């Protein structure tokens, strides 16, 4: 299951649910690609992103 994240500067990055959620939580101004709304697992990406700490490797988590 893959989802494409669009970064604040418009770059598109496709990744698995886990890594897309991490990008969504960490990258300022990021959002999911509009076509992601058609995928049933996109809600999981949003829920995971909401629960994740941005850039956890910088704070030692």
Query: Which residue reads 């709304």 in tokens?
Result: 37
CA 11, 24, 47 angle in degrees (round to 5)? 150
Q: Is the pLDDT of residue 1 over 70?
A: yes
Mean pLDDT of the region 47-55: 88
What pLDDT, on a 0 to 100 scale, did the predictor assign at position 24?
Answer: 93
**Per-residue pLDDT reduced to its tens digit, 2-45:** 999 999 999 999 999 999 999 999 999 999 998 888 888 889 99
Q: What is the pTM of this model?
A: 0.81
């Amino acid at each position: 299951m893959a989802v494409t994240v669009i970064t604040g500067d418009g770059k598109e990055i496709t990744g698995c649910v886990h890594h897309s959620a991490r990008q969504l939580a960490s990258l300022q101004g990021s959002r999911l690609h509009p076509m992601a709304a058609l995928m049933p697992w996109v809600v999981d990406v949003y829920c995971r992103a909401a629960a994740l700490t941005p850039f956890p490797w910088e704070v030692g988590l």
